[in-house]
Amino acid sequence: MRRFLISFLLLMTFILLTACNGGEDNNKESSEKRATEEDEAMSNIEITDAVGNKLAFDESPGSIATFDSGVLDILHVLDANIAGRPTSSGPVDEELEGVTEIGNPHEPNFEKIAEVNPDVLIVSPSFRQYEDNLKDQGIEPVYTDANSVEDILDSINLIGTLLNKEEKAKKITTSITNSVEEMEDSAGEEVNTLLVYGAPGTYLAALPNSLSGDLLEKSGGVNIAADFPEEENYPQYASFSSEKIIEANPEVIMLITHGDPDGVKEAFEEEMSEDATWKNLDAVKNDQVIVLPSHLFGSNPGTKVTEALETMQGNLSEVK
């Protein structure tokens, strides 16, 4: 009997020890699995860009380049490692002067792009024709748009995710959204407006689906070119219709250009003085032909989009 009790006790002790060890092993395995899953979740970055590409990165790109001044601004504000920036004839933030220029969307410098060899190149959808070229160099293209305030907010959030800086990006977009809503609420009387984009000899009317058109609408202006047929290659713009312009009789004409604003205004006013289409427009008679700042309207303003909206709204308020 005594031997039976001793054997029984030894057996129970073994079972308890085995159970405890098994539980500890299971708990250890569960903890390790959770830690692995958490590490994977932190290291895997997933984004969907402006053309619908779903992209995944093991970690934030070590270096990023762009042709877009607005994207450059967003990258700078989010403290990205910027390897290449758009070639510009205008002033550049002092902290970015040393960054290599890589051309622009219309004249990309592939030699410079290869030289800086960024992990990611952020570009507009029009750059898709060069996608294979980039991927052959091991460069991942990420597409963004800037045809509305909403597009710019989306770009900030996308880049924030790409850089693992979602919270900082969210603070920026929230601030922009609040400012835009306040300015929309304070918009004054509607002002008939013609937005003119171009350079001497080549002018187009900006449509509501362009960034300047979106800003005009949010400022309380009325885009007289809203029903103009869009250009096939530039769907955010339309050719002039003299008949429709005369009929709409804009109260203000706003000129948008990439550079040389004084030269563009002088050339445009010279053309107007020679064309009866323009002479009797209220905007011309009342000297309401305005050149918008090129760094805010000639290209994507990035996080400064609220400054662009404030500028446009201020110009409209002076018409009435």
Encode pLDDT of 85-106 as tens digits.
999 866 788 899 899 999 988 8
Which pLDDT score is estimated for 306? 97
User: Which alpha helices (DSSP H) does the chain contain, by range?
Assistant: 2-43, 69-77, 110-116, 131-136, 149-162, 166-185, 211-219, 242-248, 261-274, 276-279, 282-285, 294-297, 305-317
Task: Give the whole-number percent of the chain exceeding pLDDT 90.
Answer: 59
User: Residue 37 above 90 pLDDT?
Assistant: no
Which pLDDT score is estimated for 12? 53
CA–CA gap between residue 20 and residue 14 (Å, rounded): 10
Higher pLDDT, 160 or 25: 160
Per mean pLDDT, which range of 109-123, 266-280, 305-319 is the poorest? 266-280
* C-alpha dihedral sign at 68, 70, 76, 79: negative
Which pLDDT score is estimated for 106? 83
Domain extent listing, the chain: 48-180, 187-317
Task: Give the whole-number percent of the chain exceeding pLDDT 70.
Answer: 84
Which pLDDT score is estimated for 274? 74
The region, left, alpha or beta by phi > 0 then psi within -120 to 50, assigned to residue 260 is left
The pLDDT confidence band at residue 51, using thresholds 50, 70 and 90, is very high
- What CATH class is the domain 48-180? alpha beta
One fold for 48-180 and 187-317: yes
State pTM to two decimals.
0.83
Higher pLDDT, 13 or 132: 132
The pLDDT confidence band at residue 30, using thresholds 50, 70 and 90, is low
CATH classification number, 187-317, choose in 3.30.450.20, 3.40.50.1980, 3.50.50.60, 3.20.20.70: 3.40.50.1980
